[in-house]
Amino acid sequence: MTKTSLLILDDEPEVLNALKRTLRSEFELFLFSDPIRALEFYRENPVPLVLSDMRMPVMDGATFLTLVSKINPRSKRFLLTGHSDIDLTVTAVNDGKISHYFTKPWDNKTLIEQFHKSVQEYVSELKSLKSLKQMKVNHDKNIELELLNSLMEEAELKHHQQVLRLKKNFNVFIEIYADSIALHTQDLSGHNYRIGSQARYLALQLGCNPLEAFRVYVAGLLYETGKLSLPQSLLEQPFDKLSAQQQMSYNLFYEQSCTLLARVGQLNDVVKIIEQIPQPFNRSEQTGSDDLTLGARILAVLIAFDNMVLGRKMANHTSVTQARTLLEQQSPSHFDPLIVKLFFDMLDAKPVSEDPHLEFAIDLSHLGPNLVLTKDIENTQHGVLLTQGTALTERLIEQLHKVSRDQQQPMVLFVKPVAEPIKDVVTSKR
C-alpha cells in the first residue's frame, strides 16, 4: 500500500531525526529545516499532511502553515509546540490555520494515531468532492433531455394548472443545480434561494404573471452557475480584497453562467435575465415594458444588498442600514429606484408567505413583533447565541441589543414573520 506523504519542518536536526525514526515506517517523509525551501517544495508537491515546529528563527510555524493552507486549503496541518506557545497555538487553531497541535515532548502513539485519523478525513473529503463533480457531470448529461421534454409540454399549456405542473417537474432539476452551486461556493446562508424567493415576490407585486415570476425565481437560483468554474480560494475572499486581475476573472462568472445554461433550451428566457443583471440601470429605459429587463433589475438590487450584508462585497462588515444607504446612493445610476423602494418596503413590511425561503435580512433597529429566526445567530465569543426557529420576544430582543452593544458591532438577522402573535413566557411565584 502506498504511504501517505508527510512534510515535516523543524530547525532542530535532533527533532527531525527523532520524528524520522518514529514516522518513517508509516509515512513517506519530506524533511526540512528551512521554511523557505519547504514552501518552494510544497508549491510543486502539495502533500496532504504537514507538521511544523512553532518556534523557529526565520518564520514561526503558524505563519508557515497559513501559507501552506493558501497553496492547498484541503491539507491537514499540525503544530509541534512548547508549553510557552500554547496561547498562540490555540489562536492558530481557532483561526483555522492548523488542524491539531502536539506539545513537546510528544507521545509517539498519539502522533501516529492522529495522523492516520487525519488521512481518513482527507480521503473522505476528496471522495465527497469527487462525488459532487460526478453529480454535476451526470446532471449536465440528463438535465437537457428532461427540460426539453418539459418545453414540449409548455407549448401545449392551456391554463394555470398546466403551468403549475410544468413548474413542479422543472423544480426538481433546478433545486439540485442550485444546491450544487451552494456547495461549491460554500454558502450556508441560503443566498440563492433567498434571492430567488424575494425576486419572485417582487415580480408578482409588479404585475408579472406566475410563469414570468417563476423565470425570475429560477434566474435568482442559478445566476451563480458560472462560479462553478472559479476556484474556492477566490470565492472565499470579499470582492474588494481581490487584486484587479482576480476581479476580472471573478466578473466573468455571469458570462460563464449564460454559456452553461444556454445549452438548455427551456432556460433561454432565464439566460436573458442573468445576462442583463450586471448591466447598470439606464434611466432612459424606465418606460420599457420588457418583463425580462424587469427581472434583471429586480435581481441586481437583491444580489447587491445580500452580498453586502453577507460580507461578500466588502472586507469590513456591512450592516443592513449601511447596505440600504449604499443602494439608495447608487440609484438611479446603477439600480432602478422603483425596485429599490419596493425592496425596502418589502423589508419593512416583512410579508407573511407560505414560501419557506422568503426571509428577510434586518438589523436590530428594524426588529418588530411576531418574527422568527430563519438562521442561527452566532456570537463571536460564545458560538451560537440563538438557533433557527427561535421566536423573537421582547425579552430576547433586549438581550440581543445588549450583546450588540457589548461586542460593539452591528448584527444581521435573517427572519420571517408568523401569523400568530408571539408572547413572552412569564413565570410567577406562588
Indicate which CATH number applies to the domain containing 17: 3.40.50.2300
Residue whose C-alpha cell is 426588529: 367
Name the nearest CA neighbour of 299 among 375, 208, 368. 208
Comparison of pLDDT for 37 and 266, the residue scoring more: 37
Task: Indicate whether 180 and 285 sit together in one domain.
Answer: yes
Q: Strand, helix or coil at 393?
A: coil
Please report the pLDDT score of residue 138 as a whole number. 56
Mean per-residue pLDDT for 264-275?
Answer: 90
φ and ψ at residue 398, rounded to 5 degrees? -60, -40
Q: Write down which residue in 318, 351, 384 finishes a domain.
A: 351
Grade residue 153 by pLDDT with cuts at 50, 70 and 90. Answer: low
Share of the chain above pLDDT 70, in %: 81
Name the nearest CA neighbour of 274 among 197, 332, 218. 218
Grade residue 426 by pLDDT with cuts at 50, 70 and 90. Answer: very low
Task: Indicate whether 422 and 376 sit together in one domain.
Answer: yes
Comparison of pLDDT for 296 and 167, the residue scoring more: 296
Residue 9 lies in a domain: yes
Residue 377 lies in a domain: yes
Grade residue 141 by pLDDT with cuts at 50, 70 and 90. Answer: low
Residue pair 201/358 in contact by the 8 Å Cβ criterion: yes
Residue pair 379/385 in contact by the 8 Å Cβ criterion: yes
Task: Indicate whether 222 and 342 sit together in one domain.
Answer: yes
Task: Indicate whether 16 and 62 sit together in one domain.
Answer: yes
Please report the pLDDT score of residue 340 as a whole number. 92
Residue 394 lies in a domain: yes
Task: Indicate whether 35 and 84 sit together in one domain.
Answer: yes
168-205 burial, b at 16+ Cβ within 10 Å, e below that, comes to eebeebbeebbebbbebbebebbbbbbbbbbbbbbbbe
Residue 152 lies in a domain: yes
Residue whose C-alpha cell is 502536539: 102
Residue pair 267/218 in contact by the 8 Å Cβ criterion: yes
Please report the pLDDT score of residue 411 as a whole number. 77
Please report the pLDDT score of residue 267 as a whole number. 93
Task: Indicate whether 50 and 92 sit together in one domain.
Answer: yes
Mean pLDDT computed over every residue of the chain: 82
Q: Is the pLDDT of residue 193 over 50?
A: yes
Helices 61-71, 86-94: crossing angle, 10 deg rounding: 20
Chain-centre distance of CA 259, in angstroms? 23
Q: Is the pLDDT of residue 380 over 70?
A: no
Residue 423 lies in a domain: yes
Task: Indicate whether 306 and 372 sit together in one domain.
Answer: no
Task: Indicate whether 228 and 372 sit together in one domain.
Answer: no
Residue 400 lies in a domain: yes
Task: Indicate whether 27 and 86 sit together in one domain.
Answer: yes
Please report the pLDDT score of residue 25 as a whole number. 94
Q: Write down which residue in 62, 91, 106 finishes a domain.
A: 106
pLDDT, tens digit, 9 for 90 and up, residues 232-259: 767 877 888 787 767 766 888 898 889 9
Q: Write down which residue in 351, 384, 400 finishes a domain.
A: 351
Share of the chain above pLDDT 90, in %: 36
Grade residue 155 by pLDDT with cuts at 50, 70 and 90. Answer: low
Please report the pLDDT score of residue 424 as a whole number. 56
Please report the pLDDT score of residue 273 as a whole number. 93
Please report the pLDDT score of residue 288 as a whole number. 45
Grade residue 42 by pLDDT with cuts at 50, 70 and 90. Answer: very high
Please report the pLDDT score of residue 430 as a whole number. 31
Please report the pLDDT score of residue 14 as a whole number. 95
Please report the pLDDT score of residue 303 as a whole number. 93
Mean per-residue pLDDT for 105-113?
Answer: 94
Please report the pLDDT score of residue 315 as a whole number. 67
Task: Indicate whether 301 and 152 sit together in one domain.
Answer: yes
Residue 132 lies in a domain: no
Grade residue 396 by pLDDT with cuts at 50, 70 and 90. Answer: confident
Q: Structural domain tally of the chain? A: 3
Q: Is the pLDDT of residue 46 over 90?
A: yes
Task: Look up the pTM and report it.
Answer: 0.59
What cell numbers appear for 189 in the block?
446562508
Q: Is the pLDDT of residue 55 over 50?
A: yes
CA angle (297 as vertex; 293, 300 as ends), nearest 5: 135
Residue 325 lies in a domain: yes
Task: Indicate whether 386 and 330 sit together in one domain.
Answer: no
Q: Is the pLDDT of residue 377 over 70?
A: yes
Name the nearest CA neighbour of 293 among 279, 303, 307. 279
Q: Across the beta sheet with 360-362, what order do the strands follow?
A: 360-362, 413-417, 371-373
Mean per-residue pLDDT for 264-280?
Answer: 90
Domain around 391: 363-430
Please report the pLDDT score of residue 161 as a whole number. 56
Comparing 76-85, 98-107, 149-158, the range with the smallest average pLDDT is: 149-158
Please report the pLDDT score of residue 251 as a whole number. 82
Mean per-residue pLDDT for 284-302?
Answer: 71
Q: Is the pLDDT of residue 105 over 70?
A: yes
Please report the pLDDT score of residue 47 as a whole number. 95
Task: Indicate whether 16 and 48 sit together in one domain.
Answer: yes
Distances in Å between the alpha carbon of 47 and those of 108, 111, 119, 132, 160?
21, 18, 11, 22, 57
